[in-house]
Amino acid sequence: SQQGEEDPQALSIQEGENATMNCSYKTSINNLQWYRQNSGRGLVHLILIRSNEREKHSGRLRVTLDTSKKSSSLLITASRAADTASYFCATDGFLIQGAQKLVFGQGTRLTINP
């Protein structure tokens, strides 16, 4: 089963507005990552937040992490048409033979309307 679940599944906003997406997960984690996927393309890494961090910024992106609620949020400020994409959270899953696997959520489809 999926470790991370994004909410909402789809989000449509006007250009210039802020977009907020949420991710909930089930087990304890070391890191949480956010990725973007443009239509028909591979995923691109956006930001990584460690379990001992509560907030992280990168340009117009702001990520928060609440380990007590097992949730994270991704905020995109001043959205642009180019931000139209699907956004995924990914968390490190359970230990398998000394390795860990990265588990992705189902994604939030973000549409920025001009």
**Which residues here bind other proteins, judged by CB under 8 A?**
2, 29-31, 33, 35, 40-45, 48, 88, 90-92, 96-107
* Structural contact between residues 106 and 90, judged by C-beta atoms closer than 8 angstroms: no
Closest CB 20 distance from other proteins, rounded Å: 19
d(CA 55, CA 65): 6
Length of the chain as a residue count: 114
Residue with smaller CB distance to other proteins, 44 or 78: 44
d(CA 4, CA 2): 6
Query: Measuring CA to CA, which residue among 22, 19, 34 is closest to residue 81?
Result: 19
Residue with smaller CB distance to other proteins, 11 or 15: 11
Residue with smaller CB distance to other proteins, 75 or 104: 104
Closest CB 14 distance from other proteins, rounded Å: 26
